[in-house]
Structure 1
């Protein structure tokens, strides 16, 4: 394969005498062009071995993400699609693997291309056919199922998901996926692929949800209640939990409370696992196994290292569906050669915890329009105002939680808020050292990033911070002491206020307000309140967006509305003169920028905050005169 491109290029330029002409033609016929021509010819070969070799070649080359645009331009998907139904089972399997790698390494653009070139038709036919074949007679079909189900998940989660979902529903693939999921005691990898697929297809798919029955629910509950300790089974249970949450509207009324409790319990157990301890332990187990067995071939180690490098380069595409967090699966664990069981376990652990956090985000998000858009209007009735009334009026601007009592109770019962916040801590040095010191484990570093608030990961930061706001507001509503340290709080605020997404900055400011208003009721908190107050004043003064300015002022009203600690902190940070200086600036900004840039509802809220600012300044003046 290595010599073919050079040979082809040589033939093209052999008719030209000047070296300049050769260079020019070589630039036109890049190695990617020649390789695509080469494999295209091989895919048409009458020999099954040659077709299989061509698919395997594509599968390996596309793991280098920089090659993928060239493959898309040369109709790689259109050429590979028919291979899914090749008369040779080995060709089918290898072609499915090539498309799987292409989608995993290429991201959303490739998935769009797949749906556009109708890869769903041969893919659905393949899935239905392998369901009918005996795994004993055709051992490759189990692998084909794993690859096919992954590929199905990628297509369904693409921007063209409506088209892919429609075909999934039409041809009745649910029974195929459930059949694969049922095999979880014997083949956990197959079950995980099926669970990924089911988790994807049940999201925002009312047509499919209407067809779900008690048999499907029973299979999912059996998975959820399984007790195998391996991390792969933890991931499987997490995906089952997410699917059951997607199905919540279709559950029998008599089983809803029980199922919800089992879902949250499973997520809680997953988050309880300490990655900082488990990852070093898994790496140590791998070293012990290597000492007691022959070393893996160098070529295998090289392949693992290359795949780890690919993962570090790739950004996992993330999407928002109805305000919810929907993360496209970018898990490379099933590409790892055999003999890497511990690395598979570590990858499954991180994927399970990341998925758990995303499910919790979705549980805390309403299907109604986002409250970050300031669609709640505050009352403009001035008769309710005054020091106490002002606090009540301002709190109305804090959007209410859209959670049922059952969900609210389950999240609190299993201490989900504390466990989510625990994941914001920086990973232990021992775990990070393991990842940095071993090339094949380096891919875990990127998977660990969900533990941190990194401003560049804007969409995931948006989802996480939205969930944290809801959870902290839950804690405050129950008068439970805040579990976020001042260091965590200020680190979150600093990261979020640098983010370009307005809703992230709004939620960060709201979190400061929620936390501060709770701390103001406790003794010895003046110093922390001062930090919060200074941070909010900075945002109210310097942020370029009026909505964020208003949210920061709103949070200040909440934090410093009442209490001895709040009064002390307000005096120490000179809150009154700072707000007096800010008042005319804020009014002028609304007058100059508001009408053309913000919606009538946003302007209504901003006008109310302007009124509340005047009254709050009056309240602080009375406090000073005491």
Structure 2
């Protein structure tokens, strides 16, 4: 693993002050991402973990902060390593140890004040949140968290939101994380849990921190929907939707500049008074909370309580209240859109496993008994009448659409809005979305978003979100025979950019867009030349892409484009489609046989087998066309 890190020996020093100083140094150093690999190579997590249970409270505090910063700034790899190094064992042990103190009255906190304890508790929760939410090994971490019995303490933290919003936000983040796909925890749900969440949803504070708090509570309620008593479902669903609606109604494009102006004005005033300090902001959007003003006691520094600026954030600049408000607003809107995405999402395999179905009219059973019609991404997903009605009553679709054209540097909310649009188009009828006029307006929005710049954006997350939304929109527009503003040439340029992307689902979406566009053009006159371009592009992908899923989608799109019509027949002849497919057929079959079982899921193999059958039939169809 290399030579010992300079901080490794001090971490094991018999002096508490030395151990604390070493933890504090690591906490600051790991905010520079380039230093993190060195700490991982030298077992930083394994060395820091035991210090969470150190006999010195100050060492515990700084060790917890170091792990929090390491996980927040290190991302997926670090969090996965934290779980593998069993950091959840000391974390949950520490939570179990300190939670009885949470019930103490203020007068019984001798060596540590209540505000200090609350900050300490918040830091532990923050570390747990990051580890649980980012690590792929979260099932193991979740199980340990469930067994630690922390749920009642999280609820008590939530109930303190009127006095300590910072701690309540940590608890809300934690509850939102641990309630997702956690059947074990669902067994612990009761009326007290739901009552606490409902009280948060119905709170009326208008600041951005409480907006985020209510949004996180709404996400937890949705995660717990199967536990809702029948008699309370309608009321709770209405409160949840009202929360999301109020959050999305906020115009970040107006509020963010206002917050920025307020920050500039306040900074100028502070500078004139000689009190302005510049602090470097570290990576991440995590709002690591500052102490409640009324509590008035600060964290320990080198074992001593000191009076400093009321801010414990290592990850945001000190004194940047406006930045915190802006971060809370954007996080709340992103979370709201993610919740709506989940509402409009089925339990089918995910997009990146494949857009599972062929668009052929064939509906034969696959070898493993799965029907093609059961896996179509474009078929209506399961959306209950109650949820559908609540979305419409609170004008959620209309408010969601406003987030598609989001200001620069707020792309994450925009991407979630595009994903949300894709799911709503897949689950809601056109009239619910405003009818033909509204769909045309959406098409115009997307056209402006994608084609207004000289070059199509290449960012993968953007391409995945926008191609998914555009695919769903074009499908419904084609079905309703609505004129739309995007030209075939524009869609060709988007598909060309997307087919160069490394993400399989982006390439699949691009090919589906070409298929929808071509099948529409095939019904019109004087379109053979454009159909030739589309057909050539699809053949290129079907022949050369290394991924069989993508090759299959390209073939599927070819079937759609050249299925019928004089223009399609003329274009097929001009690009020698029949001979190209005959040459491709044995290669495609051989690849499925050689690569299939080792690289692709049973569902993907089912669809590939279906496309193989359809390819044979389509070649037969083209042969009859040639003989005419």
TM value normalised by structure 2: 0.71
User: Whole-Å Cα distance in 2 between the matches of residues 543 and 117 of structure 1?
Assistant: 35
**Residue 147 of structure 1, CA deviation:** 0.8
1:143 and 2:119 are equivalent in the alignment: yes
SS at match of 1:35: coil
Q: 1:592 to 1:97 in 2, by over 3 A?
A: same
Q: Paired residue for 2:354?
A: 373
TM value normalised by structure 1: 0.71
Q: 1:337 to 1:513 in 2, by over 3 A?
A: closer
User: Is the 2:405–2:414 Cα contact (8 Å) retained in structure 1?
Assistant: yes
Q: Paired residue for 2:607?
A: 601
Q: Paired residue for 1:269?
A: 246
User: Is the 1:83–1:91 Cα contact (8 Å) retained in structure 2?
Assistant: yes
User: Is the 1:579–1:617 Cα contact (8 Å) retained in structure 2?
Assistant: no
User: Whole-Å Cα distance in 1 between the matches of residues 17 and 57 of structure 2?
Assistant: 11
Q: Paired residue for 2:475?
A: 514
Q: Paired residue for 2:431?
A: 478
SS at match of 2:14: coil
**Residue 467 of structure 1, CA deviation:** 3.5
Q: 1:404 aligns with which of 384, 388, 406?
A: 384
User: Whole-Å Cα distance in 1 between the matches of residues 273 and 30 of structure 2?
Assistant: 24
**Alignment map for 1:332-371 (pairs within 5 Å):** 335-336=315-316, 338-370=318-350
Q: 1:578 to 1:186 in 2, by over 3 A?
A: farther
**Alignment map for 1:160-309 (pairs within 5 Å):** 160-293=137-270, 300-302=277-279, 305-307=280-282
Q: Paired residue for 1:457?
A: none
Q: 1:71 to 1:210 in 2, by over 3 A?
A: same
**Residue 281 of structure 1, CA deviation:** 1.0
User: Whole-Å Cα distance in 2 between the matches of residues 502 and 239 of structure 1?
Assistant: 27
User: Whole-Å Cα distance in 2 between the matches of residues 232 and 543 of structure 1?
Assistant: 37
Q: Paired residue for 1:45?
A: 14
**Residue 397 of structure 1, CA deviation:** 7.9
Q: 1:397 to 1:81 in 2, by over 3 A?
A: closer
**Residue 270 of structure 1, CA deviation:** 1.3
Structure 2 runs not aligned, ≥5 long = 286-311, 364-372, 532-566, 597-604
1:556 and 2:526 are equivalent in the alignment: no
User: Whole-Å Cα distance in 1 between the matches of residues 121 and 411 of structure 2?
Assistant: 30
**Residue 193 of structure 1, CA deviation:** 0.6
User: Whole-Å Cα distance in 2 between the matches of residues 611 and 538 of structure 1?
Assistant: 28
Instruction: Render the CA deviation track for 1:373-414: whole Å, top value 9, x for unaligned.
Output: 3444667569xxxxxxxxxx9x98833223222222323333
SS at match of 1:185: coil
SS at match of 1:484: helix
Q: For the aligned residues, what is the CA RMSD?
A: 4.1
User: Whole-Å Cα distance in 1 between the matches of residues 606 and 145 of structure 2?
Assistant: 42
Q: Paired residue for 2:95?
A: 127
**Residue 288 of structure 1, CA deviation:** 3.1
Instruction: Render the CA deviation track for 1:263-295: whole Å, top value 9, x for unaligned.
Output: 222122212211121111112222333344466
User: Whole-Å Cα distance in 1 between the matches of residues 17 and 497 of structure 2?
Assistant: 64
Q: Paired residue for 1:328?
A: none
**Residue 175 of structure 1, CA deviation:** 0.9
User: Is the 1:375–1:602 Cα contact (8 Å) retained in structure 2?
Assistant: no
Q: Which moved more, 1:108-117 or 1:176-185?
A: 108-117
SS at match of 2:319: coil
**Residue 125 of structure 1, CA deviation:** 2.5
Q: Paired residue for 1:80?
A: 48
User: Whole-Å Cα distance in 2 between the matches of residues 174 and 249 of structure 1?
Assistant: 18
User: Is the 1:93–1:141 Cα contact (8 Å) retained in structure 2?
Assistant: no
**Residue 66 of structure 1, CA deviation:** 0.9
Q: 1:55 to 1:600 in 2, by over 3 A?
A: closer
SS at match of 1:212: coil
User: Is the 1:264–1:411 Cα contact (8 Å) retained in structure 2?
Assistant: yes
**Residue 477 of structure 1, CA deviation:** 3.9
User: Whole-Å Cα distance in 2 between the matches of residues 400 and 236 of structure 1?
Assistant: 32
Q: 1:592 aligns with which of 563, 587, 594?
A: 587
Instruction: Render the CA deviation track for 1:21-69: whole Å, top value 9, x for unaligned.
Output: xxxxxxx86xxx55224xx3255233x3333222211111111111111
User: Is the 1:580–1:617 Cα contact (8 Å) retained in structure 2?
Assistant: no
User: Whole-Å Cα distance in 1 between the matches of residues 362 and 77 of structure 2?
Assistant: 52
Q: Paired residue for 1:450?
A: 412
User: Whole-Å Cα distance in 2 between the matches of residues 129 and 162 of structure 1?
Assistant: 23
User: Whole-Å Cα distance in 2 between the matches of residues 569 and 243 of structure 1?
Assistant: 54
User: Is the 2:248–2:399 Cα contact (8 Å) retained in structure 1?
Assistant: yes
Corresponding residue pairs, total: 518
User: Is the 1:195–1:239 Cα contact (8 Å) retained in structure 2?
Assistant: yes
Q: Which moved more, 1:340-349 or 1:410-419?
A: 410-419
**Residue 160 of structure 1, CA deviation:** 1.8
SS at match of 2:383: coil
Q: 1:488 aligns with which of 446, 449, 473?
A: 446
Q: Paired residue for 2:131?
A: 155
**Alignment map for 1:387-426 (pairs within 5 Å):** 398-426=378-406
Q: 1:473 to 1:232 in 2, by over 3 A?
A: same
**Residue 141 of structure 1, CA deviation:** 0.8
